Amino acid sequence: MSLLEVRDLQIEYSSARGPFNAVDGVSFSLERGEIFGLAGESGCGKSTTAYGIGRLLRGSARVVGGSIRFDGVELTGLSDAQFDTYRWARISIVLQSAMNNLNPVMKVKDQLTDAIFAHRKGVSRADALRQAAELMELVDLPKDRLERFPHELSGGMRQRVVIAMALALRPELIIMDEPTTALDVITQKGIIDKIIELKRTFGFSVLFITHDLPLMLEICDRVGVMYAGQMAEIATRERMLAGARHPYTQGLLRSFPSLTGPRVRLAGITGSTPDLVAPPQGCRFRDRCLHALPACGSVAPPVRSEEDGIVSCHLYAKEEMRHEAVAAGR
């Protein structure tokens, strides 16, 4: 059984122009000990998906359909009080800016022990402090930093503190939303290497969200690429490196200037994302797609499963389905 099983997730926002689904029928699963990436550009719904799973949705956003099963339990059916037994203890979260995770007026040691006291009743202060010191060691921070306030630490050290906090209760799933985007690349590399090492030690799973596809392909075992609220493609790292299936993923991969290989002119992706209040029929990517077929304008793309991934695109429909789709498109 997968640790996390998301099926047909629908998350709705309300806007001045009416409600819209920022996440519209997203499905994926996350195995134990796996790092699964959610990629895509701004507004694609990747963070909303993660916040929906972690019950961090704000404002008008709410889950209106689908299922989120964690370790066999349906999370969408839980009350907030019931979900609190999962929060931090079994599912913890690392956000982009460490300052959003940390309380600026609390010392590092108090923030770490807070997490421990909140979920582990009857722990003595000395015991909690000892655990906090161990956590600092795990993320390679000197123990004297326990006495510091967040602003006295560098951005990279703060993000290490946040990762230490996320580990405090040995969760099975850590959701990381752009955990290194605000950092310089050398600092980023140190943190990414640390996450991989800790994952090997503790065996937790990671849902890793970033717009940086090359970074994602360095750290993740499998990657899901979202576009306009839907899952365009899921593929193993190896599959992605050998060549993505979905035209959107292909375009995204072509948009990153590489440091290796020949210097070639990159194409990017022309056009812009569709209006989610009134999404187009058929494939949402079709206006920007280099390979669009007649059917793409009217029929939702079929989902095709392969051994190394899933793709939602008419180009990969079974022959007979494709004929039907082409006929329907006429």
Partner 1 sequence: MKPLLQVDNVSQVYESGGLLRKSKMRAVRGVSLELHQGEVLAVVGESGCGKSTLARMILGLLPPTEGRVALAGRPIARRFAGRLETAKRLQMIFQDPFESINANQKVETVIGRPLQLHGAKGPVRGRVLELLRQVGLTPAEDYIDKYPSQLSGGQKQRVMIARALGIGPRVLIADEPTSMLDVSIGIDIMNLMLDLKRDHDLSLLWITHNLGSARYMSDRIVIMFGGQIVESGPTEEIIASPRHPYTEALLYASPDPWRKGAEPAGIEAADRAEKGLPEDGCRFRHRCPYAQADCALGEIPMDAAEPQRGVRCLYPLGGGAASASSIRIERKDFTG
Residues that bind partner 1 (CB under 8 A): 41-42, 142, 154, 156-157, 184-190, 193, 211-215, 217-218, 237, 241, 251-252, 254-261, 263, 265-270, 272
Q: Return all residues near 79 (Cβ < 8 A) that are at least 6 apart.
A: none
Cβ(283)–Cβ(266) below 8 Å: no
Contacts made by residues 120-129, CB under 8 angstroms, sequence distance 24+? 120/169
Whats the size of the chain, residue-wise?
330
**Least distance from partner 1 to the Cβ atom of residue 161, Å:** 13
Name which of 259 and 278 has its Cβ closer to partner 1: 259
Nearer to partner 1 by C-beta: 255 or 305? 255
Maximum alpha-carbon separation in the chain: 73
> Cβ of residue 140: shortest distance to partner 1, in angstroms?
9
Closer residue to partner 1, CB minimum distance, 266 or 328? 266
Minimum distance of partner 1 from residue 213's CB (angstroms) = 8
* SS3 state at 126: helix
Least separation in angstroms between CB 53 and partner 1: 23
- Rounded to an integer, what distance in angstroms lies between the CA atom of residue 165 and that of residue 122? 19
Q: How far is the CB of 160 from partner 1 (least distance, A)?
A: 10
Alpha-carbon distance 143 to 129, whole Å? 11
- Sign of the alpha-carbon dihedral angle for 285, 288, 289, 293: positive
| Residue number, 2 or 187, with CB nearest to partner 1 | 187
Closer CB to partner 1, 49 or 188, in the complex: 188
